[in-house]
Structure 1
Amino acid sequence: MLKIIGFFVIAACLLSSAAASAEENKDIGVIVIDEITKKECGACHLPFGPINLPARSWQKIMANLEKHFGENAGLDEPTRKHVEDYMVGKSMDSGLTNYGKITSKKLGDKTYIRISGTPSWARHHDERHVTPEEWKKVKSKSDCRACHRPGIGG
């Protein structure tokens, strides 16, 4: 009987450890998982997955939040630093995914501040993927919520 109980205790520990590791590995920048970043960025727009831009782009965006696409999105310094560290750490060129590595090479040295200006955005939103009828429902290229649900990459 003790052997059976011991087996289940060990199995439970292994499973919970594996689940914790899977949860840690899950955040590869496709969607924003960090709660502070999700709250601050999501207050005005869909929190964009950091994998959509290279680190230099996120650094440029975060350095100019007082003039963030016509809005003052300024944050206190500890929060701004937290968000920037998260976005840079999960960025396209962070090395977390093969997609990011390949896509960042295609960008070259250009520093994009609009995800919708990147070649990969254009490729994923061309006429093969988005119909003219679907575009009519969208207010602007930054209106991601028109088609994409929060928390879902794609």
Structure 2
Amino acid sequence: MVKVGAALTTAGIGLTILLVAQLLQTGLPSAWTLLSPFILLEMTPMLLAIAWSLSALGVYLRDIGQFVGIVSSVLLFLSPIFFPAHAMPEAAKVLVYFNPLVTPIEQLRAVTIQHSPPDLVVLLPHFMLSVAAALISYSLFRRLSRGFSDVL
């Protein structure tokens, strides 16, 4: 949970820098920008789900660290950080939307750069799936944690 908190803090600092730069360059950002911290918080359950799952599996599968590095790189290039998701080729769009970071990134782009409201039709189901994934991952972590002392 410390890593998730650190990641959210880093994202919050980056968002603050973006908003200050936007303020200096174009003036006051739109009122929708005030929703940015909530969109960052919306990512928390999914980040916790990933952390709990990988932590529990990493005890039993030692090589998962190498796998995570490769998957992280793939997810970076399949996330709409450098480009909007709709600009992807049709064949790659299917892969892009399996990335759990696509929805929050697209919604942050909408409220901070495009000055438009977040799409709640997309954001709320993502949040509900994230909460469900976090609950399942926490359950998996608790179940697998009983054997940690035997393996370590």
Question: Quick check: TM above 0.5?
Answer: no
TM-score by length of 2: 0.29
TM-score by length of 1: 0.29
